[in-house]
Amino acid sequence: MRKKYRKNMIAFPLIFIIIGLLILRHLFTNQGDISIHVKDNYSHACHVNDLIVYLDSDGIYCKNSKGNIDKICNISIAKTSTVTADEEFIFFSPSVDSKKIFQLDYFGNVIKIHNISHSIYDMYFVDDILYVLNYSDINMRYDIKAYSSVDDMKIIDLDKCPYDYNITVEKKFFSANIQIINNRNHCYLKITDKNEKTVFCNVYNKKNAKQIFLSKTDMTASLYDNKLILFPLKSGKLNNYYIINIDNGKVVESGTTFNIDYSYQPIKQSDKYLIIIAQYSHYAKGFTDNVSEQIDGDRIILWNYETSHFEEKKTKNHERIIYANSQKAITYYKGKYLTYSLEDWSLIKKQSVDEIKEGGSYTFESCGDYIFVFDNNSGELLNTINIA
């Protein structure tokens, strides 16, 4: 009887210890190894006036402002496919190594297949210039006005393109991290390597093609009127911000508002605010896409252009911000999409999620009034979230 009592005395604490460990495991690892990447530029979706052109696994689609969807064409989509468009044409690359760009109209007719001499990592429009990114260099510029059903795309001569750059870095170090920010008067171009170190940085005045060379900096940027706002790209480096007059290149304001323990990433601009996501990270490490590695939650920073005043909102541990504008933010947390008011950070909407699975890898691209959720392994469009 006494031996049985002793066994029970030993067994009960062990049971409580095991239950406690299971609870701790649930609290700290129930997000699993989910990878969530939030993009502020578009490779699988693009916005053209009131239309959104996007890729799904079986073709190219177009959604209008009323939410009506038209399938433009049937075509096999890979996870490295990319699309961009203007008002007249859609440009589609089937994969990184295809070395082809399909030029289509909005009825799905193939106008021309352009043969490119290099791999196609991504494509961007800046005004009427199409920038095609290669793995190892970013020096291809095409004038979309020169496209026709007869001729291949014309590579623009250096002296004819005021927004031109030619930078080559070793392939093993290149990550294709590029910022192209465009407003009415200026264009800002920046390239970083795999360690997020800046290898090229420049500002162009469109009216007179004047170039303003910036010293290489590990800061990220935003354009507002004639001001360039620079702030820290990753933790452990800087906590200063700088506002530069891009007509003369002079610093007009600086401060030390940023927390050195965080990395920062601009995601959207409004008439009043620059909206920035901040993420706690250890020294010299930038954003992590792995939710389980997220230590101290994400933060949203609203920067008022006129006053340089900052407002900050913080998420819970392992809660990832997937979208924000000047009124609301949407996050992913424990199998749900949560929508918050940025005025008082109150929860205004909760939506269950079916498409995000443990062990999966996903990219969220916001474009127009929608968030597109893509599977990084298959390239499939899993969900379209209306954010209007």
E strands within 281-327?
A: 298-304, 310-314, 320-324
Task: Give the per-residue pLDDT at 340.
Answer: 94
List domains and CATH numbers for the chain.
37-161 (2.40.128.630)
Task: Give the per-residue pLDDT at 362.
Answer: 84
Burial of 75 (0-12, 13-18, 19+ CB in 10 A): middle
* pLDDT, block means (10 residues), the chain with 388 residues: 52 57 46 60 70 84 84 81 84 84 89 79 67 56 48 42 40 51 69 61 65 61 72 58 74 68 63 73 47 66 77 84 85 91 91 87 81 82 85
Task: Give the per-residue pLDDT at 293.
Answer: 54
Task: Give the per-residue pLDDT at 348.
Answer: 94
Task: Give the per-residue pLDDT at 346.
Answer: 93
b or e along 109-136 (b: 16 or more beta carbons within 10 Å of the residue's beta carbon)? eeebebebeebbbbbbbbeebbbbbbbb
Backbone angles phi, psi at 13, to 5 degrees: -60, -40
What is the residue-wise DSSP string for 160-208? G-TT---EE--GGGEEEEEEEEE-SSEEEEEEEETT--EEEEEEEETTT
With beta carbons less than 8 A apart as the criterion, state whether 163 and 127 touch.
yes
Task: Give the per-residue pLDDT at 66.
Answer: 79
